[in-house]
A and B are shown apart, each in its own frame.
Chain A
Amino acid sequence: MDGHYLGAMNTTAEEYVVPVEYGISSTRMEIDRFIVPTVTIFIALLLFFFMLFPLWSILQLSFFEGGQFGIANFTLANFKKYFTTSYTLNALWHSLYVSVATTIIVTILVFFFAYAMTRTTISGKTFFRNVIMMPLVAPSIIQALALIYLFGRNGLITAHFLKIDWNIYGATGIIVSEVLYCLPHAFVILYTTLSAVDIRLDEAAESLGATPLKVFTRITLPSAKYGIFSAAALTFNLTITDFGNPVVIGADYNVLATEIYAQVTNLYRFDLGATISIILLVPSLMAFILNYYISRKTFAMISGAAKPVIPPSRPLKKISFTIYCCLVSFSIIIIFATVVIGSFVKIWPYDWSLTLSHYKFPSIGGYSAIWTSVWVSIFVGIGGSFITLVAGYVMETRKPFFKQFIYLLSVMPAAIPGLVMGLGYILAFNKPYYFFYGTPWIIVINVIICNFTLGILSSISNLRNIDPSIEEASISLGGDTIKTFFKIIFPLSRVAFFQNFVYFFMRSMTTISAVIFLVSATVHLAAIEIIMLDNDGWTASANAMCTCIIVIVLIMLGILQIVSKKTGTHQEGLVSAL
């Protein structure tokens, strides 16, 4: 066969000349020189202007008299006022208390749940894994709404079944709702850790005669310790920065996040709001840094680990873990069911006849808020996944001059609570010449920046899967940066791009804390409407609004599943979609 075509060769050495008339355009290559620096500078400016500048505004307002930067104006008066007013100081203790409690509970709960998924042979694992991921599709307010319907003053269980006076408002309510909110986040980490640790260690120890308890405490726990710390740090961070749940179920029990909001919205004390933001930033920053270092160690451990078959678990172990997982799943399902059912019944828990009246939203936002949210989320999705892909591409393959610096800027957003960033946006941009202030565009930018870290990390890990020679092949054939990106890199990143799109879309649909300060009389968002409706006593409509958000996010996830299936990428429920 080889001989055939060699005989048919019709190009000879004489004909072989470089056709100059079809060379590579010099102008295009001159322009190409500027592409990478331009993109790098653009991303640096974006993060400077929309992340560092707002943060700086907060620092300025909290540490300088009248917010005027200057040595003479430096003052600790705001902090003194904060720490000497017992009501505001309490918010710090409250925040620490609920966060520590939530962290301990979540870490233990999720550890055994992840253990069941990775170390036992119980059936229904796919179901359990999907259920524990459910909280991600709803705003972190659904837990509080449901708990009030179940255990509130008119709660189904407290007032109706048990007929007791006790209710869940306050610290208990916050802790329970935060626990139910943080489950999926902690689960992703512990599931990855426990799948990576070699199960044969356990077997080896058991075969040497160690009791199951000894194996667990001496082998399983220590080998997962980085994952445990990492999950704990993340839970702590999520809880202390959450706004939605405590504002609904906290009642008089103020925490830092609700206190910032109260100072700014009710008392117009921007300076105190900024000061409390700094105080909130400290523990959440510490948790973030801890998590950052730990997760680096975790990943070092994960690489190259084997995935052996799990030996069949003993019946008793299987039954108890099945019951345990059912209980955890049941709690999550109850939360969702309560809110969804609550949105369709006339008067919970007295009149169970079905109605759609709660979906006629009484507030000014109503359906227009949902549409705004969807449009904003689509722009966040496209913009966020596109910018992070371009940034990842430039940083990974073109090694720009200040790569390390841009990388540092890119991971910072994960350390900054959404509420703090939102407040920073008001302080920085509430000036007439920032034309985008008060429009949905500032929300789009804010949500993209707040979720920049995960977006860019997943873009980078996706780009690392593309053979670097492919990029070089394109260049050697005369491809410039833009052509290489759009003709090759982008098509090859399609699935990852869409996953990122859905991630940004979901975050944008469900976030409360990042945007609560940015909605206005003219710009309404669905997730914020839930708080407004609940605040005005339209609890059932708040549930209805929450249901709408869940449905929209689920539709988007469904599309992701279909798209990924079509392109042949293997998906395993929600876990891999995130």
Chain B
Amino acid sequence: MSKKLVLENVSKHFGSLIAVNNVSLDIMPGEFLCFLGPSGCGKTTILRMITGFEQVTAGNIIYDGKIINDVIPQKREFGIVFQSYALFPNMTVNQNIAFGLKMRKMPQKLIDERVNEMLGLLGLAGWDTHYPSQLSGGQQQRVALGRALAIKPSVLLLDEPLSALDAKIRVRLRTVIKRLQEELGITMIYVTHDQEEALALADRVVIMRDGEFRQIGSPFDIYKEPKTSFIAEFVGTSNFLTCTKKNGKIQFGRLEFVAANSSDVAEETVYLAIRPENIEIVDVTVPADNCVPSNIVEVEVEVINFLGAVVRITFFLEGEEMFVDLPEKEFEKISLKRKDKVKLYFPPDAFHIYTELFRKLI
């Protein structure tokens, strides 16, 4: 059974570079936890400290109540799945899966049983005598999963396991991993820079940036209540409005908006964030009577992108490029064209208010 894994004030320095800066976290048994953050934020480093490939600079890694900082990787009994699959090219699928069991001197009969169980579990029956080079990327990653799970690890760690695969297989294998985790009840720690993947898989998401944890919560919480403008931008999409606050009123260029909770903020410059799907179209998705009048603006349609389930409309507001997402069914009703005028409504409670703005480098 998996046990509780605790990170206690863990830091990792590479010379003067601080890769992980004093982070703490309790990872519950059987939890699916995702570390999500842009490349270089320290996700892999955390994983490598949990596996024992890197030593912590400060703090403790505690498993089942025992500090395991100095336990060698072989004795931690954690399974690892790598982005590059890292299968042993000189061994067949069978031998790859059996490797960890052989290291444990398990009798051959039990090894065969376990390998067959894994082959069945991962839909690899019939492929056992093939070499990794004869398999597709998706199949190789399944073998890697089988190899890591064969030793019945207490925790399974996955470092961007799907990012080398193409989109279709990625989504399919995502389901496989999620089902495995639920059926086996094993703790999984999953690292990714793909927000969609993190939201789809995790029980809890840890948003990382610059070696620190910025927000920890369920996918729902993170999406609905991003703590910082960076998270609002990184998870999903947000429109940002740089506003000034005067006499309790929020001004965006020549426009004036009402935003919920705006009185809590003391600063003069505030940044309003609103997700494209939260902007309404007056008299289409919301009746005009229900609207706060100041939050209705008329804009000109610049670009229309058909994305399948939703249609994304690009417009300019006070010189800023913004998006509104409309369910495809609603869009059919109004059949907008480029340069058409449309009335948008920004609901006061759909705004998130930030006092700093993360600027994406394009």
Chain B residues 162-218 with CB under 8 Å of chain A are 172, 175-176, 179, 183-186
Q: In this assembly, does A213 line the interface, its C-beta being within 8 Å of a C-beta of chain B?
A: no
Interface residue? B250 (CB, 8 A): no
Stretch at the interface among B18-26, B98-106, B278-286, B342-350: B98-106
Contact B152 A16 (CB under 8 A): yes
A396 at the interface (CB under 8 A from B): no
What 1/0 mask marks residues of chain B from 266 to 277 whose CB sits below 8 Å from any chain A CB?
000000000000
Q: Are B80 and A17 in contact (CB under 8 A)?
A: no
The CA of A531 and the CA of B84, in the complex, are separated in Å by 55
Closest to B73 in A: A475
- Is B254 in the interface zone, CB < 8 Å from A? no
Question: Are A491 and B151 within 8 A (Cβ)?
Answer: no
Check B121 against A5 for contact (C-beta < 8 Å): yes
Question: B89, A469: Cβ atoms under 8 Å?
Answer: no
- Whether B121 pairs with A9 at a CB distance below 8 angstroms is yes
- B90: chain A residues at CB < 8 Å are 488, 491-492
Find the B residue at minimum CB distance from A23. B104
Over the window 463-499 of chain A, the binary record of Cβ atoms lying under 8 Å from chain B Cβ atoms (1 yes, 0 no) is 0000101101111111110010001100110000000
Residue pair B99, A467 in contact (C-beta under 8 Å): no
A432 on interface, CB distance cutoff 8 Å: no
Contact B86 A22 (CB under 8 A): no
Q: Are B123 and A2 in contact (CB under 8 A)?
A: yes
Within 8 A of B (CB), among A4-25: 4-6, 8-13, 16-19, 22-25
B1 touches A2 (CB 8 A): no
Contact residues in B for A487 (Cβ distance below 8 Å): 88, 99
CB of A488 within 8 A of CB of B88, answer yes
Contact B183 A9 (CB under 8 A): yes
* CB-defined contacts of B53 to chain A, threshold 8 Å: 472, 475
Q: Is the CB of B51 within 8 A of A476?
A: yes
Q: With the chains together, A474 CA to B130 CA distance in Å?
A: 19
The answer to whether A474 touches B75, judged by C-beta atoms less than 8 angstroms apart, is no
A478-B123 contact in complex given A23-B104, A472-B82, C-beta closer than 8 Å: no
Q: A11-B117, A467-B86 are in contact. Are A17 and B104 (CB under 8 A)?
A: no
CB distance from A563 to the nearest CB of B (A): 16
Q: Which residues does chain B contribute within 8 Å of A4, judged by CB atoms?
A: 123
**Would you call B103 and A479 a contact (CB within 8 A)?**
yes
Q: Residue A31 at the B interface, CB < 8 A?
A: no
Bound Cα distance A467, B90 (Å): 13
**Interface size bucket, A side?**
35 or more
Q: Is A29 an interface residue (CB 8 A)?
A: yes
Taking the complex as formed, is A1 at the interface, i.e. its CB lies under 8 A from any CB of chain B?
A: yes
Q: Which residues of chain A from 234 to 281 have a CB within 8 Å of any chain B CB? A: none
Inter-chain contact A22/B101, CB cutoff 8 Å: yes
Q: How far is the CA of A469 from the CA of B89 in the complex (A)?
A: 12
Contact A18 B103, CB 8 Å, known A476-B80, A491-B90, A492-B90: no
Residues of B within 8 A of A23 (CB): 77, 104
Check B103–A477 contact: CB distance below 8 A. yes
A478 touching B104, Cβ below 8 Å: yes
Q: Is the CB of A469 within 8 A of B106?
A: no
- Closest-by-CB residue of B relative to A475 is B73
Tell me the minimal C-beta distance from B140 to chain A in angstroms: 12
Among candidates B83, B100, B186, residue contacting A478 with C-beta atoms closer than 8 Å: B100
Judge if B120 is at the interface, Cβ distance under 8 Å: yes
Partner of B105, one of A6, A22, A470, A474: A22
Query: B321: shortest Cβ distance to chain A, in Å?
Result: 36
* B76 partner residues in chain A, CB cutoff 8 A: 476
Considering the complex, give the chain B residue whose CB is closest to the CB of A467: B84
Q: Is the Cβ of B74 less than 8 Å from the Cβ of A480? A: yes
Please indicate the chain B residues that have their CB under 8 angstroms from the CB of A474 in the complex: 88, 99
Nearest chain B CB to A12 CB, angstrom units? 7
Out of A11, A13, A16, A475, which one reaches B74, CB within 8 Å? A475
Q: Is the CB of B103 within 8 A of A17?
A: no
Among B73, B84, B88, B185, contact of A16 (Cβ-Cβ < 8 Å): B185
Tell whether, in the assembled complex, residue A13 and residue B183 are in contact, meaning their CB atoms are under 8 Å apart.
Answer: yes
A13 engages B175 (CB within 8 Å): no
User: Would B74 and A29 count as touching, CB distance under 8 A?
Assistant: yes
**Are A24 and B80 touching (Cβ within 8 A)?**
no
* B80:A472 contact, CB within 8 angstroms: yes
Chain B contacts for A470, CB-based, 8 A: 86-89
In the complex, chain B residues 32-91 whose Cβ is within 8 Å of any chain A Cβ:
51, 53, 72-80, 82-84, 86-90
B154 at the interface (CB under 8 A from A): yes
Interface centre among B74, B99, B100 (most CB of A within 10 A): B74
Complex-state Cα separation, A12 to B75, whole angstroms: 24
0/1 string, A65-88, CB within 8 A of B gives 1: 000000000000000000000000
- Answer whether residue B258 sits at the interface, using C-beta atoms and an 8 A cutoff: no
Q: Cβ of B104 and Cβ of A476 under 8 Å apart? A: no
Given A2-B175, A6-B176, A476-B51, also A11-B183 (CB < 8 A): yes
Residues of B within 8 A of A10 (CB): 117, 120
Contact of B317 with A by CB under 8 A: no
With CB as the reference atom, state the residue of chain B lying closest to A7.
B179
Which residues of the other chain, B, contact A492 by a CB distance below 8 angstroms?
A: 89-90
List, in ascending order, chain A residues with CB within 8 A of B176's CB: 2, 6
Contact of A477 among B100, B120, B123 (CB under 8 A): B100
Binding site for B on A (CB under 8 A): 1-2, 4-6, 8-13, 16-19, 22-26, 29, 32-33, 467, 469-470, 472-480, 483, 487-488, 491-492
Further pairs besides A18-B77, A29-B74: 10, Cβ < 8 Å: A2-B175, A16-B185, A32-B74, A469-B83, A472-B86, A473-B80, A476-B51, A478-B104, A479-B74, A480-B74
9 tightest A-B CB contacts, nearest first? A13-B185, A477-B100, A469-B86, A478-B103, A5-B123, A491-B90, A469-B82, A473-B86, A22-B104
A–B complex contacts, Cβ < 8 Å, 29 sampled: A1-B123, A2-B172, A6-B183, A10-B120, A11-B183, A11-B184, A12-B183, A12-B184, A13-B183, A16-B184, A16-B186, A17-B1, A18-B154, A22-B104, A23-B77, A469-B84, A470-B88, A472-B53, A473-B82, A474-B88, A475-B74, A476-B51, A476-B74, A476-B80, A478-B104, A478-B151, A479-B74, A483-B103, A487-B99
